Amino acid sequence: MMENLHIINGLYAITPEQKNLSILSSQVESCIKGGAKLIQYRSKKLSKIDRKKQAKQIKILCNSYNIPLIINDDIELCRNLDADGVHLGEDDDSLTKARKLLGPSKIIGISCYNSIDRVKIAIDEGANYVALGACFSSNTKKNAPQVSMDLITLVLKEFKIPLVAIGGIDTENVELLVKEGVKCVALINGLFKAKDVEKTARIYTNILKTNYER
């Protein structure tokens, strides 16, 4: 599993709710052209059939650029597409189940919100990365608990596991995370609602490079 750790850095683009696959594919490609290092396919509203159709197309796109694709929540879909990994939240299947079904080579990320206990459990169970957030006020999850900068700093200093910061990040406040040593940030609205997705992705990429290229 350790061979995957080097790719958990830079810009991590998470897809928004978008029924139009053509628009979604175009936006994802713009993210990649702008420097995104990871793509996560996420949809909470579409049918199982539509999600599979979208994820399959995004997987083809990611493969063409040699960019890892992570599937949000859905272990079965990850297996079906042979995607690079899965991201699990508090109400999703367990990490243990995911590892058993997906095998040792797949990336498994865990949402830890603002909980150091969840971070420790995720590490003990063999997660490849942990996500902390919301770092700032988020429109995607308006009631999400916010994580303190102190906790982010603690995790970065005390644990070797890659950390992904998420929630309410924009081109201005991302600098605060970079100063604390964050190497990977995940965005939905901050990318996909931009007028120029590729240009915006490049801005984040250039800011984050100061950390992950050291």
**Residue whose structure tokens are 């997705």:** 197
Higher pLDDT pick, 112 / 211 = 112
3-state helix, strand, coil in the chain (%, to 5): 45, 15, 35
Structure tokens at 40: 């996560």
Distance separating alpha carbons of residues 182 and 212, to the nearest angstrom: 9
For the segment 153-178, what is each residue's pLDDT rounded down to a tens digit?
A: 999 999 999 999 999 999 999 999 99
- Can 56 be counted among the known catalytic residues? no
pLDDT for the residue numbered 212:
64
For the segment 66-119, what is each residue's pLDDT rounded down to a tens digit?
A: 999 999 999 999 999 999 999 999 998 999 999 999 999 999 999 999 999 999
Distance separating alpha carbons of residues 183 and 156, to the nearest angstrom: 10
Distance separating alpha carbons of residues 55 and 47, to the nearest angstrom: 12
- Band the pLDDT of 203: cuts 50, 70, 90: very high
- Band the pLDDT of 194: cuts 50, 70, 90: very high
- Can 141 be counted among the known catalytic residues? yes
Distance separating alpha carbons of residues 162 and 156, to the nearest angstrom: 8
Measured in residues, the chain has a length of 214
What is the topology classification, in CATH, of domain 2-212? TIM Barrel (3.20.20)
pLDDT for the residue numbered 4:
55
pLDDT for the residue numbered 9:
93
For the segment 42-74, what is each residue's pLDDT rounded down to a tens digit?
A: 999 999 999 999 999 999 999 999 999 999 999
Which residue in 30, 37, 42, 183 is the catalytic one?
42
- Band the pLDDT of 140: cuts 50, 70, 90: confident
Cα distances (Å, whole numbers) of residue 94 to 60, 98, 142: 27, 6, 25
Distance separating alpha carbons of residues 172 and 138, to the nearest angstrom: 14
Domain boundaries, the chain: 2-212
- Band the pLDDT of 5: cuts 50, 70, 90: low
Its pTM stands at 0.95
Report DSSP state, residue 22: H
Higher pLDDT pick, 140 / 62 = 62
Helical residues (DSSP H) of 34-92, grouped into ranges: 48-65, 75-81
Structure tokens at 60: 């083809």
Q: Write the CB contacts of 28 (distance below 8 Å, at least 6 apart in sequence).
A: 13, 15, 39, 58, 61, 62
Which residue in 33, 52, 56, 141 is the catalytic one?
141
Which residue in 30, 43, 111, 138 is the catalytic one?
111
- Can 42 be counted among the known catalytic residues? yes
